[in-house]
Amino acid sequence: MDISYVIPVYNESESLARLVAAMAETAGRLPAHYDVEIILVDDGSSDDSWRQIEAAAKHDARFAGVRLSRNFGHQAALTCGYQFSRGRAVICLDADLQDPPDVTLRMVEEWEKGADVVFAVRSMRRGETWFKLATASAFYWLIEKLGAVRTPRNSGDFRLLSRRALDALNGMPERHRYIRGLVGWLGFQAATIEYERRERAAGVTKYPFTKMLRFATDAIVSMSFAPLRLAYAMAVLAAVPFLAYLGYALVMYVLGRRAFAPGWASLILAVIVFGTTILVFIGVMGEYVGRIYEEVKQRPLYLVRGSTRDTPRA
């Protein structure tokens, strides 16, 4: 097997027919000697996505389907597809045709030139709400500031991995997978191509705000200790005015002047500032401790309910 495409699918019934046609067309344009497989991972869809995937696999032997036992989320579905794939190069893309399949032809060229990782960077994003664009750019800004991730800005999960890079990625057992970050961590020889991100072909985004927030938390917490270290900075920041205040109080005491007999407001303020700071960082600790717990449990990342091919793993 030369090229594997991995496509996570969650309730994409409306765009699947177009996707299958576009993928068949793109696969046909790859160099003729290449063996191609297109793996569609149904992430617990409740519409007729799986029926359509089965039909595609029956009709065209290049297509294969894997069905998860429930909705495990985009990153888990992607991981499943990655573990199923057998290609010497593996490309993942969205089912909604936001990532134009023909761009993958350019990715394959970069791979042939020796790249292990080919990132596709969005030069333009059409048809996305200002809210999505604003939160996305705030997210990338924060991630860069934290120095946590070494992937190009504005590269999503649309990328090509060589077998060598993919084997390394598949060897990482962690549960809360922020795959972009893991790929950046891998290193190897990377190449970047630009493309225009299109509008969703049909249906609505499967990443509502809450999922995006969870995704962003995973990204930061899985790649960086900075939030934990923030506690020190906060402690220093709080200590400065309170030490000054203490000095002032001592001076006043020595001078025999009881300048702040009421003292109530400052006391309450101190309690509130320290109280909330401590609570925030208990929350931050919780994020990390919770993840340690998840890792220790060693549960599988996903469960497979069925597939159109017998060999579950390469």
Give the residues lining the site for ligand UDP (CB under 6 A): 8-10, 12, 43, 71, 73-74, 77, 94-96, 98, 205-207
* Residue number with CB closer to ligand UDP (93 or 115): 93
Q: Which ranges of the chain would DSSP assign to H, the alpha helix?
A: 13-29, 49-59, 74-84, 103-112, 130-145, 163-170, 179-186, 209-223, 226-254, 264-297
Q: How many CB atoms lie within 10 A of CB 172?
A: 12
Backbone phi, psi, residue 112, to 5°: -60, -30
Antiparallel, parallel or unpaired: β 304-307 and 190-197: unpaired
* Residue with token string 């705030």: 138
* Residue number with CB closer to ligand UDP (53 or 115): 53
Cβ pair 150, 184 in contact under 8 A? yes
* Partner that binds at residue 42, options Mg ion, ligand UDP, none, CB closer than 5 to 8 Å by kind: none
* Residue number with CB closer to ligand UDP (180 or 206): 206
* Residue with token string 């060999």: 311
Shortest Å, Cβ 200 to Mg ion: 6
Shortest Å, Cβ 215 to ligand UDP: 9
* Partner that binds at residue 274, options ligand UDP, Mg ion, none, CB closer than 5 to 8 Å by kind: none
* Residue number with CB closer to Mg ion (60 or 157): 157
* Residue number with CB closer to Mg ion (92 or 148): 92
Q: How does 260-285 read in b/e, with b if 16+ C-beta sit within 10 Å?
A: eeeeeeeeeeeeeeeeebeeebeebe
136, HSE (Cβ side, Cα atoms, 13 Å): 14
- Binding-residue pattern over the window 79 to 118 for Mg ion, x denoting contact by CB under 5 A: ---------------x-x-x--------------------
* Partner that binds at residue 12, options ligand UDP, Mg ion, none, CB closer than 5 to 8 Å by kind: ligand UDP
DSSP code at position 78:
H
Shortest Å, Cβ 98 to Mg ion: 4
Shortest Å, Cβ 268 to Mg ion: 49
Shortest Å, Cβ 246 to Mg ion: 55
Asked if 12 is part of the footprint of Mg ion (rule: CB under 5 A), the reply reads: no
- The residue ranges that bind Mg ion (CB under 5 A) are 94, 96, 98
